[in-house]
Structure 1
Amino acid sequence: MIAATLESVMILDKAEQLAKAVVLSDIAEQYRKCYYALQQDSEVQTLIRQFTEMKERYEEVQRFGKYHPDYTSVSKQMRELKRAVDLHEKIAAFKKAENDLQKLLDEISVIMGAEISPAIKVPTGNPFFDAGGCGGGCGSGGSCGCKKTG
């Protein structure tokens, strides 16, 4: 059992302050605003529901590939719905806000890990951060500063 030291209590307090700062940030506020707009828009909810249903149908058709009798029509419908979802103003705004918030959280994680040790690997889900700038597979021949692989 680890006893709570004054230092660990102070670290937890600072972590809580950081979390509150993120929650109160403009980036988090924009995320909540866009999320709320999505939830309140019946057109968006219908579009998302249609996309989810079509995705299930599409996955079933994909199991058989071009041999499925509905392969062409379902594939076409799926592409059209995906495009409608991607181009919808509120969905696009939400995706941008979501990416901005994720980027902020990734940056915080990387900074915290680097402060402890440059050897710490912080999984962010972002190849730029995960690989320390570039995974070496960028195709630039190392001109970006990464280690050329291959």
Structure 2
Amino acid sequence: MIYTEEVFEIEDCVLELCQKIISSPQATEHLHNRFSIENDLKTKVKEQEFIKAREAYERIEAYGKHAPDYTEKRRKLRQEKRQLDMDEHVSAFRVSERELQEVLDRVTYGIAQSVSKDIKIDAGNPFFEFADKGCGGSCSVG
């Protein structure tokens, strides 16, 4: 690649865009929620209990119902997962994570569409409704 002034200008614009995203309310909230998870003792205990239950289940998972305590360990894993998911800090983190991902998806879509309307974006989000989905060609079935 030949580096021209135009490439450096694009790089400057990208850095500016990154700074705007990082300082956005969604990114700020996301970082705050991540900090809350990392520094809340009750949440850390729930996370450790979940990890312990997951490891116990993974050791016997391949044997299925033939393994001793398979049902109990699977149930324990699900209970610990639910406890972790219901934690206020974890749920707030997940909400902020989705909101930040939506911002990133919209920015990506906007950049792609400014280059060409034919560029398809796979956001990995089934609710990514503002973008056209599909293969972009005549790939209909039947």
TM-score by length of 2: 0.85
Q: How does 1:88-107 map to 2 (within 5 A)?
A: 88-107=87-106
Identity of aligned residues (%): 29
The residue number in structure 2 matching 1:54 is: 53
Consecutive unaligned residues in structure 1, runs of 5 or more: 136-146
What is the identity, as a one-letter code, of the residue corresponding to 2:116?
S
Consecutive unaligned residues of structure 2, counting only runs of 5 or more, are: none
Question: Which position in structure 1 is the counterpart of 2:31?
Answer: 32
2:43 corresponds to: 44
The residue type equivalent to 1:122 in the other structure is: I
CA RMSD of aligned residues (A): 2.4
Q: Any idea what SS the aligned residue of 2:124 has?
A: coil
- Match of residue 73 from structure 1: 72
Asked if the contact 2:65–2:71 (Cα under 8 Å) also holds between the matched residues in 1, the reply is yes
> Is contact 1:127–1:134 with CA below 8 Å preserved after alignment?
no
Give the aligned length: 138
Report the Cα distance in structure 2 between the residues aligned to 1:133 and 1:43, rounded to whole angstroms.
43
Q: Secondary structure at the match of 1:32?
A: helix
1-structure distance, mates of 2:118, 2:59: 44
Contact 2:50 2:81 in 1 (8 A): yes
Question: RCO greater where, 1 or 2, for CA within 8 Å and sep 6 or more?
Answer: 2
Inter-CA distance 91–149: structure 2 relative to 1 (3 Å threshold): farther
Q: CA deviation at 1:20?
A: 0.5
Aligned in 2, Cα 1:57/1:149: closer, same or farther, shift over 3 Å? farther
Distance (whole Å) between structure 1 residues aligned to residue 116 and residue 128 of structure 2: 15
